[in-house]
Structures are given as C-alpha cells and as structure tokens.
Amino acid sequence: MREIILDTETTGLDPATGDRIVEIGAVELLNHLPTGRTFHVYVNPERDMPREAEAVHGLSIAFLKDKPVFAAVAQDFLEFIDDAALIIHNASFDMAFINAELGFLRLPSIPPERVVDTLLIARQKHPGAANSLDALCRRYGIDNSRRTKHGALLDSELLAEVYLELIGGRQTALILEATATKKAATMVAAQMAQHRPVPLASRLTDEERAAHANFVVELGENALWKQA
C-alpha cells in the first residue's frame, strides 16, 4: 500500500483571499514505512509575503523570487503523488490550497476520499489533549529539535513518524516485518518441497524386496502394511 505524507507552507490562511503555496514537502510510504523517496519544492507565490507568515516558516519573497511558480512544478507533483492516499495533518487547510492551485491551472481537484487527516485521528485517540505536530512529537518521544520553524519537508518527515504511532506504533512495523519473514519462510519451504526433475535410483536390491514381501505375508491379513 502506497501512501504520501504531505505538508505545505503558504503566504497565509485562505486561498480564497489570494494566499498561495510557497513550499511543498512529501514523503513516500510503502506499507506504512518510509521508502526514502521524497518530493520537495519551493514555489514563487507571485505576490508579497505577509510578515506573520514569514515569521512562521521563514521564507521571504527575496528567497522565493527565483523559484518556480506552481504551474512549473504541478506535473512533477501530481506524478509523485500519483493515486496514493494523502496523509496530512489538518488536511482541510493544505487541501484547500492544493486544490485552489490546481484549479488555477484548470486541472482536476483531488477528492476528499483520498485524504487521511492525522489531526482527526489524534483527536479521536487523545480527546481533550493538545494535538499539534509538536505536541504529538513530544507525546511519542519523536525528536523535533530541528523544527525551529515550520518547513514542509521536515514536517512531513516528522508526521510520518507520528502517523506510525497513531495507527499502532512501532508494533505495526514489527507485524509487517514478521509477515514478510513468514512469507519468505513459506517460499523457502515451497522451494525445498519441489520434486527432483530426475528421481533418484532405488537403492533396494531384488533380494531385499523379496525378503520384505515374505515378511509382510507372515504378518497375516490384518497387517498394517496391507492396509496402507
């Protein structure tokens, strides 16, 4: 099963008022485990950067002005996520921006049924508790010391670890490993049970066969040898 952990950084809170994406980070999972494949890009928003937003992620217009616009990276992004489920913390925020950007390009939006919101999972699992990404990292003992500011790729990497804990913790990985080991053992056993292409020649002599036949006759009609 392929999943994509996804995060974005933006110029503000609402694409309907002109805010745009400035960074996309994504991490690929197979069977809930990171593969090492990632997608990361900074995006020129083609507008100014409010001070409040820059204070959150540290991305200035001076830094972003020579970066590609969303239209230039959209196809690479869509090819990376392909048809995988998208795992996002506070998914309604990120998906509003992603679908707005796709809409500007007249590309199909991503349907909500493809999206898993880890914030909703965390709220169900830890009702009444703080469930921000930082709070979840603290709860599960995940090192987030590098997170001095929000960053789409780093946040995706941290969320991948949080997601594993939310769906069952490290035990999930052990179960998957055990399943793979069992499958491998089954394959080995099946290979060992294969018939030889050329049967081995019998090592019994004619005298030995005759002696065995006489022995069975002496056992009588109820002998197990005759019932087999």
The active-site residue out of 32, 40, 126, 150 is 150
Tokens matching residue 167: 């769906």
Q: Is 150 a catalytic residue?
A: yes
Could you count the other beta carbons within 10 Å of the beta carbon of residue 13? 14
Residue numbers annotated as active site: 150
